[in-house]
């Protein structure tokens, strides 16, 4: 048995069986990962939307190395420099004039948003309900599971926390119908990721903003998957011409290290008061240093411009796939968060791509989800598209 087969065996024998990895990844560099058999693969999962600047970007690695030798943790009883700088940077990039709170994951960031909304609601007429969207995904803690508008991940966990109501995505009338006098917030993803790679219409997002303004409700954007440039702007709400009251980040923020953030506008900046919320590791200096390096890379290497360029190329190529193969129904998404809807199970497509050395994901609703690192070069993208094209020829037979 090879060393890395042993790794997979340990996962099976000693780890709770919530994951089913098919292979062990041993290293990553840019858009490429290497597995235990020594194969190089294009990572068009980006570690599920985490490696937006690619695996082991030298600037991120160096920032982690430097901070790890200086201070790895001091608790929030004391200030640390990277966290303070990161908060200021996120507030600046958002233009919302508010403040940030740090935690360690997407679920925790959304949990913080839910708690902040409840605290705001308690102070403004005793409101507590939060309207979320069907097919949304907000995380796996009990509250964020309740906020998630999909039943497959909720089964077996009753009773879930009360205070959530669901509306249909892209249907403003449905949202209006779900709002009542107890409702304090509307929470949504501008592009639903996990739920099927479905972008909101501009009309819908603007309508939600207006509704929130009319009823003094908070608009919460979950940017855990769409944030940090994934859809072509720093945060996906910036592509819709609106400003949320709160938004959440995690996945790509730390360039591979665990960190989550809740960012507010000025109105919500001081709703949390000393002691009213906290996280031991929140604002960890190493994770924050990594996040500062990620932001520096996105800014200094023209990453958002690269998303625009490579996204256009990818959409064109995938549309050609859809035109060629009747089993492929539609391409949708934004930036480099792209879904291809399949007639039937998307898994054979994922497996065919993997057999040609391109790793991709699925999303709910028969969707193949494609998320390359945002730093991908055009020639690598063209190369991978060629491999995917071969894979589809193998799977569906050449016409
Ligand atoms: C992944 C994801 C989450 C959950 O993030 P974790 O870090 O796994 O807790 C929440 N919201 C969205 C939109 C996500 O894609």
What is the best residue among 137, 149, 361 to mutate for testing ligand 1's pocket, by most ligand atoms within 8 Å of CB?
A: 137
DSSP secondary structure string for all residues of 74-91: --TTS--HHHHHHHHHHH
pLDDT of residue 1: 45
pLDDT digits over 64-75, tens only? 999 999 999 999
Instruction: Give percent above pLDDT 90 in the chain.
Output: 97
Domain boundaries, the chain: 3-56+302-396, 59-300
Distance CA 190, CA 221 (A): 7
Catalytic residue ranges? 137, 222, 251
pLDDT tens profile 180-196: 999 999 999 999 999 99
Residues 6+ apart with CB under 8 A from 331: 315, 318, 319, 321, 322, 338, 339, 340, 341
For ligand 1, mutation pick of 19, 224, 237, 256 (most atoms within 8 Å of CB) = 224
Whole-angstrom distance, CA of residue 2 vs CA of residue 215: 62
Task: Identify the pLDDT of residue 3.
Answer: 58
Which residues have C-beta atoms less than 6 Å from ligand 1? 105-107, 110, 137-139, 189, 193-194, 222, 224-225, 250-251
- Distance from the CA of 106 to the center of ligand 1, in angstroms? 4
Architecture per CATH, 59-300: 3-Layer(aba) Sandwich (3.40)
Query: Which atom of ligand 1 lies nearest, measured to the CA of 223?
Result: 13
pLDDT given at position 365: 87
CATH assignment, 3-56+302-396:
3.90.1150.10
Residue-wise pLDDT tens digits, 202-233: 999 999 999 999 999 999 999 999 999 999 99
Q: What was the pLDDT predicted at 48?
A: 98
How far does Cα 142 stand from its chain's mean position?
19
- Give residue 319's pLDDT band: very low, low, confident or very high (50, 70, 90): very high
Q: Whose CA is nearest to atom 10 of ligand 1?
A: 138
Report pLDDT digits (tens) over 18-66.
Answer: 999 989 999 999 999 999 999 999 999 999 999 999 999 999 999 999 9
**Residue 16 burial (CB count, 10 A):** 6
* Phi-psi group of 169: left, alpha or beta (phi > 0 → left; psi -120 to 50 → alpha; rest → beta): beta
Q: For the chain, give the longest Cα–Cα distance.
A: 66
- Atom of ligand 1 lying closest to residue 48 CA: 1
Helices (H), the chain: 3-14, 46-49, 58-68, 81-94, 106-123, 142-147, 172-178, 202-214, 285-300, 303-324, 347-355, 378-396
pLDDT at 354: 97
pLDDT of 399 above 90 = no
Q: Whose CA is nearest to atom 8 of ligand 1?
A: 106
């Amino acid at each position: 048995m090879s060393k890395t087969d042993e790794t997979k065996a340990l996962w099976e024998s000693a780890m709770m069986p919530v994951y089913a990895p098919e292979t062990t990844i041993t290293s990553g560099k840019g858009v490429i990962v290497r597995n235990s058999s020594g194969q190089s693969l294009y990572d068009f999962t980006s570690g599920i939307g985490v490696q937006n600047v690619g695996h082991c970007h030298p600037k991120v690695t160096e920032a982690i190395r430097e901070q790890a030798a200086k201070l790895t943790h001091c608790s929030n009883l004391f200030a640390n420099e990277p966290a303070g700088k990161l908060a200021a940077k996120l507030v600046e990039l958002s233009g919302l004039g508010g403040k940030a709170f740090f935690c360690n994951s997407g679920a925790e960031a959304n949990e913080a948003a839910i708690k902040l909304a409840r605290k705001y609601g308690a102070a403004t007429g005793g409101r507590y309900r939060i309207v979320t969207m069907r097919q949304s995904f907000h995380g796996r803690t009990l509250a964020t599971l309740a906020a998630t508008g999909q039943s497959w991940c909720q089964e077996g966990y009753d009773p879930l926390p009360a205070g959530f109501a669901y509306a249909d995505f892209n249907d403003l009338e449905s949202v209006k119908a779900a709002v009542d006098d107890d409702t304090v917030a509307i929470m949504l993803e501008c592009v639903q990721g996990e739920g099927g790679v479905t972008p909101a219409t501009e009309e819908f997002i603007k309508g939600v903003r207006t509704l929130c303004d009319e009823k003094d409700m908070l608009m919460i954007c979950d940017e855990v998957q769409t944030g940090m440039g994934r859809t072509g702007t720093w945060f996906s709400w910036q592509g819709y011409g609106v400003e949320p009251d709160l938004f959440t980040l995690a996945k790509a923020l730390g360039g591979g290290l665990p960190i989550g953030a809740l960012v507010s506008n000025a109105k919500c900046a001081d709703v949390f008061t000393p002691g009213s919320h906290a996280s031991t590791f929140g604002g960890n200096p190493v994770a924050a240093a990594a996040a500062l390096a990620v932001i520096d890379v996105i800014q200094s290497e023209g990453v958002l411009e690269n998303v625009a360029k490579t996204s256009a190329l990818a959409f064109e190529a995938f549309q050609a796939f859809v035109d060629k193969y009747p089993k492929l129904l539609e391409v949708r998404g934004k930036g480099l968060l792209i879904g291809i809807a399949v007639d039937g199970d998307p898994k054979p497509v994922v497996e065919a791509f993997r057999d040609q050395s391109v790793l991709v994901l699925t999303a709910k609703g028969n969707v193949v989800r494609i998320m390359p690192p945002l730093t991908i070069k055009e020639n690598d993208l063209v190369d991978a598209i060629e491999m995917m094209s071969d894979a589809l020829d193998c799977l569906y037979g050449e016409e």
